């Protein structure tokens, strides 16, 4: 088969420019989903398209969705990997519910994703993969490209594998290797359709494959072949433009939640002027925090890949005892293993940041999918009365701020702090207004230097507390005159010696609780553009911020007022929360669990809460929540 792509074997560096007149449609927003086999490079393709959108100045949000298996059997439904990107000319809150465009690299990708494409949506398929064998693998009895099952969609059939191989015929690359560049062909085609800047992708490919220049050139050629295919074939009559978004002024970059979280830890080390030790064990979806931090040793960061989850947090606690910022990162199953050491941190009252990038549970659950079902584990998943402050980021970019906030609380109150991220914010990305490092909060701490016994004995009492924060002093080994012993056994208030005294234990249990209850957290803010007409409040926490916000906008656009509030501090809860809950006729709490926050709120505030839950391993769709909120408002108004 001939190709219309650039025939030269070495791609030049001149920018691609369109010349064929097409109808240009201006859109406010579009959602594109790239779907293919795990080995097809869909995550990379989506990531690059996202970077192009970012470079163009669109607002964007992404949702990677991939299997836990590194390479599930080729061509099967379990092996399908996808990457959805939503970009727009205004500030958006979610990666989008349904793709306007689905790129399906094989029948499995089509079958797994077609139900999400709205009627009239565009589907671009790689026809080369629609052979009998691949169709049979996913139980297609007839070829969906030949029967009328896709008649509701605008389907573009492109022989991507053949075209890519043709474009690379002169490169000397083997057929198989050439075929592997088909994801870049798809990216090139989509880049043409959406008037994306292409220089960044070409530069990226040349840098990524710097050690294999022939592979780099092949990928650039494939990318260009896809672009020229759109430009020259008549199959695509329309291209689309999405203008840059009108975001607050400043300099932006694209960032994923896990990267932002790692940067937050780097910043926390700088702002506290403490060396950082991350003690951790690889686990999906938290490992990227380890990968990122291990690159930044030049900020005084030591990353310790331990023999297990328990040793990871143990090393972090040991480092904290020695005066470092101790951090451990994991996902839900790891928190279960770390529970006893978190308890030791609570008992010894040492600062510690414990990151839980939540995933589907219980047990091994859904390692690559998102969920919010560790809230009660964070609250109560330890023996004894063992309170810890809990914070949760709302968006990928918020992961940076929440890491600083978790550190502030840990250092100020000398306590382990649970940071509940999740798969959706961790792997999702969005534009980030780059903060001015000089304006970040000062987190510096004062270590104990003198014996503190109030009786003037010249002794050091390790459990003597600051009357305001109830934090004990941080007296580091190496400080003369402050030698003391701490540990997991109950300690006498003040002196800190082992104590089995009943009254002392009762007092210490209450002191530890009072310390956490007294953590200074900001009031929760309520967003109600109606100026107070809303009778329904929707309250969320964590990564549901995006879909809840998008749904609230849609509801308001229909003329129905609704108030929205979102919690970043889960323990303690903001001081004004009870009053806020009491100010509305109806409160609904959507969660990706079976109602864990709702249960806590009912218990604490003795108030009626409607819990709306879904535990599907995927973020809520704005459309779904829009329906829920609309129904609730109608019912409340009718009552």
Taking residues 348 to 377 in sequence order and writing x for each that binds other proteins by CB under 8 A, - otherwise, the string is x-----------------------------
Cis upstream peptide for 347 (omega within 30°)? no
Asked if 611 is part of the footprint of other proteins (rule: CB under 8 A), the reply reads no
Query: Which listed residue (188, 226, 323, 389) binds other proteins by CB under 8 A?
Result: 323
Query: Which listed residue (105, 482, 536, 597) binds other proteins by CB under 8 A?
Result: 482
Q: What is d(CA 494, CA 32) in angstroms, rounded to the nearest whole number?
A: 60
Query: Which listed residue (67, 75, 79, 314) binds other proteins by CB under 8 A?
Result: 314
Asked if 50 is part of the footprint of other proteins (rule: CB under 8 A), the reply reads no
Q: Write the CB contacts of 295 (distance below 8 Å, at least 6 apart in sequence).
A: none
Q: What is d(CA 480, CA 440) in angstroms, rounded to the nearest whole number?
A: 33
Q: In the bound complex, what is the minimum distance in angstroms from residue 317's beta carbon to other proteins?
A: 6
Q: What is d(CA 421, CA 286) in angstroms, rounded to the nearest whole number?
A: 9
Which range in 82-90, 275-283, 500-508, 555-563 contacts other proteins by CB under 8 A? 275-283
Nearest to 588 by CA among 568, 570, 602, 574: 602
Closer CB to other proteins, 481 or 582, in the complex: 481
Asked if 449 is part of the footprint of other proteins (rule: CB under 8 A), the reply reads no
Beta bridge partners of 588: 538, 610
Taking residues 395 to 434 in sequence order and writing x for each that binds other proteins by CB under 8 A, - otherwise, the string is ---------------------------------------x
Which letter does DSSP use for residue 432 in this model?
E
Residues 500 to 539 in contact with other proteins, rule: CB under 8 A: none
Which range in 6-14, 405-413, 486-494, 517-525 contacts other proteins by CB under 8 A? 486-494
Q: In the bound complex, what is the minimum distance in angstroms from residue 460's beta carbon to other proteins?
A: 11
Query: Which listed residue (103, 216, 265, 319) binds other proteins by CB under 8 A?
Result: 319
Residues 282 to 311 in contact with other proteins, rule: CB under 8 A: 296-302, 304, 306-308, 310-311
Asked if 584 is part of the footprint of other proteins (rule: CB under 8 A), the reply reads no
Residues 163 to 222 in contact with other proteins, rule: CB under 8 A: 200
Residues found in the chain: 639
Q: In the bound complex, what is the minimum distance in angstroms from residue 171's beta carbon to other proteins?
A: 28
Which letter does DSSP use for residue 82 in this model?
E
Closer CB to other proteins, 296 or 505, in the complex: 296
Question: How many chain residues are in contact with other proteins, going by CB under 8 A?
Answer: 75
Handedness of CA 143, 145, 148, 150 (dihedral sign): positive
Q: What is d(CA 620, CA 329) in angstroms, rounded to the nearest whole number?
A: 25
Handedness of CA 432, 44, 215, 212 (dihedral sign): positive
Q: In the bound complex, what is the minimum distance in angstroms from residue 382's beta carbon to other proteins?
A: 12
Closer CB to other proteins, 256 or 372, in the complex: 256
Task: Read off φ and ψ for residue 33, nearest 5 degrees.
Answer: -120, 120
Asked if 71 is part of the footprint of other proteins (rule: CB under 8 A), the reply reads no
Calculate the CA 249 to chain-centre distance.
24
User: Residue 25 in 3-state DSSP?
Assistant: strand
Query: Which listed residue (7, 39, 131, 435) binds other proteins by CB under 8 A?
Result: 435
Taking residues 223 to 262 in sequence order and writing x for each that binds other proteins by CB under 8 A, - otherwise, the string is ---------------------xxxxxxxxxxx--------
Q: Write the CB contacts of 31 (distance below 8 Å, at least 6 apart in sequence).
A: 84, 85, 86, 95, 96, 97, 98, 99, 100, 101
Q: In the bound complex, what is the minimum distance in angstroms from residue 486's beta carbon to other proteins?
A: 6
Burial class of residue 389, CB neighbours in 10 A (0-12, 13-18, 19+): buried
Closer CB to other proteins, 66 or 263, in the complex: 263
Asked if 456 is part of the footprint of other proteins (rule: CB under 8 A), the reply reads no
Beta-strand ranges (E) seen in 78-188 are: 80-88, 101-104, 122-126, 154-158
Q: In the bound complex, what is the minimum distance in angstroms from residue 487's beta carbon to other proteins?
A: 3
Closer CB to other proteins, 9 or 492, in the complex: 492
Computed on alpha carbons and rounded to an integer, the radius of gyration of the chain in Å comes to 27
Which letter does DSSP use for residue 352 in this model?
E
Closer CB to other proteins, 253 or 510, in the complex: 253
Closer CB to other proteins, 177 or 459, in the complex: 459
**Distance between first and last Cα of the chain:** 67
Which letter does DSSP use for residue 170 in this model?
G
User: Residue 472 in 3-state DSSP?
Assistant: strand
């Amino acid at each position: 088969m001939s190709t219309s792509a650039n025939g030269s074997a070495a791609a030049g560096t001149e920018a691609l420019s369109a010349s064929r007149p097409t109808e240009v449609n201006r859109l406010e927003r579009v959602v594109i989903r790239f779907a293919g086999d795990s080995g097809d490079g869909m995550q990379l393709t989506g990531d690059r398209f996202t970077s192009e959108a970012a470079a163009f100045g669109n607002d964007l949000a992404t949702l990677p969705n991939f299997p836990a298996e590194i390479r599930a059997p080729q061509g099967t439904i379990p092996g399908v990997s996808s990457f959805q990107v939503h970009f727009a000319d205004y500030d958006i809150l979610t990666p989008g519910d349904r793709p306007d465009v689905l790129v399906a690299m094989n029948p499995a990708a089509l079958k797994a994703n077609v139900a999400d494409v709205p009627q009239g949506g565009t589907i671009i398929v790689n026809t080369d993969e629609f052979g009998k064998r691949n169709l049979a693998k996913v139980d297609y009895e007839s070829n969906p490209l030949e029967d009328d099952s896709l008649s509701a969609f605008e389907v573009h059939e492109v022989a991507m594998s053949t075209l890519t191989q043709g474009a690379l015929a002169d490169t000397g690359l083997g057929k198989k290797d050439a075929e592997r560049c088909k994801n870049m062909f798809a990216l090139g085609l989509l880049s043409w359709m959406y008037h994306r800047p292409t220089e960044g992708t070409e530069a990226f490919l040349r840098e990524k494959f710097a050690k294999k220049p022939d592979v780099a050139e092949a990928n650039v050629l494939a990318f260009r072949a896809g672009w020229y295919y759109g430009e020259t074939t008549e199959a695509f009559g329309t291209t689309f433009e999405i203008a840059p978004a009108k975001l607050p002024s400043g300099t932006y970059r694209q960032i994923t939640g896990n990267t932002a979280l790692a940067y937050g830890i780097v910043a926390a080390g700088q702002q506290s002027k403490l060396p950082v030790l991350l003690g951790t064990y690889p686990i999906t979806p938290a490992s990227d925090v380890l990968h990122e931090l291990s690159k930044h040793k030049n900020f005084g960061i030591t990353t310790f890949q331990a023999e297990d989850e328990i040793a990871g947090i143990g090393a972090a606690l040991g480092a904290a005892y020695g005066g470092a910022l101790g951090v451990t990162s994991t996902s839900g199953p790891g928190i279960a293993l770390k529970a006893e050491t978190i308890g030791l941190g609570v008992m010894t009252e040492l600062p510690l940041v414990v990151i839980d990038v939540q995933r589907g549970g219980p047990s091994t659950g859904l390692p690559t999918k998102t969920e919010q079902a560790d809230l009660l584990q964070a609250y109560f998943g330890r023996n004894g009365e063992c309170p810890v402050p809990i914070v949760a980021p709302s968006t990928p970019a918020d992961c940076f701020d929440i890491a600083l906030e978790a550190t502030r609380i840990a250092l100020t109150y000398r306590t382990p702090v649970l940071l509940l991220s999740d798969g959706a914010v961790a792997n999702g990305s969005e534009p980030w207004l780059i903060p001015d490092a000089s304006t970040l909060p000062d987190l510096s701490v004062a270590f104990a230097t003198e014996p503190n016994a109030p009786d003037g004995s010249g002794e050091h009492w390790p459990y003597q507390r600051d009357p305001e924060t109830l934090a004990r002093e941080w007296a580091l080994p190496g400080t003369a005159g402050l030698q003391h012993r701490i540990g997991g056994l109950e300690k006498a208030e003040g002196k800190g010696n082992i104590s089995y005294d009943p009254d002392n234990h009762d007092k210490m249990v209450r002191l530890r609780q009072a310390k956490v209850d007294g953590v200074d957290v900001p009031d929760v803010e309520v967003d109600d553009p109606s100026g107070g007409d809303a009778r329904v409040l929707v309250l969320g926490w964590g990564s549901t911020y995006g879909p809840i916000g998008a749904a609230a906008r849609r509801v308001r656009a229909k003329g129905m007022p609704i108030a929205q509030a979102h919690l970043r501090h889960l323990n303690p809860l903001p001081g004004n929360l009870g009053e806020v809950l009491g100010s509305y006729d109806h409160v609904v709490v959507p969660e990706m669990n079976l109602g864990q926050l709702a249960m806590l709120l009912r218990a604490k505030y003795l108030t009626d809460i409607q819990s709306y839950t879904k535990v599907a391993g995927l973020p809520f769709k704005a459309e779904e929540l829009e329906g829920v909120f609309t129904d609730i408002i109608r019912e409340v108004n009718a009552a």
